[in-house]
Amino acid sequence: MTRVPWAPLNGGAFLIIFGTVMLLSVVGVAGLNPFSGIPLVFLAFGVWLVIAAFTFSGPDDRYAPPRSMILAWGAFVTILGAVWFVGTIALSLVPIVLFVVLVVAGIGAVGYALTRAEAKKAQPTVA
């Protein structure tokens, strides 16, 4: 797989997402306005970071961020954007979004723990 530079890739993806969402919000597609478009940019860019963490491999530089860090930042930005976006639409639904985020984080933690347990079990012991 080819190695892609992260900064231009993510910068370009952010500009594409930002330009598209702001254009749609200025035109008024689906009831978007610029105040609800900004959180949608964060939400979409966070999803992009999660996808990029799984799809693209990082640069060969040993100081490059690990895939788990890109995934964690993507999840953080997605959660921030989701809570902010729901807060601009209906403030009373924000606790529901936070509870859904807690459930998804719990499922992710259990899945991570189970995959780590399988990885440790599969290693042979040397006597």
Amino acid code (one letter) for 66: P
What does the pLDDT average to over 81-99?
91
Ramachandran area for residue 49 (φ above 0: left; ψ -120 to 50: alpha; else beta): alpha
* CA distances from residue 58 to 66, 67, 127 in whole angstroms, order as listed: 7, 7, 37
Separation between Cα atoms, residue 63 and residue 112, nearest integer Å:
24
pLDDT band at 125 (very low <50, low <70, confident <90, very high): low
pTM > 0.85: no
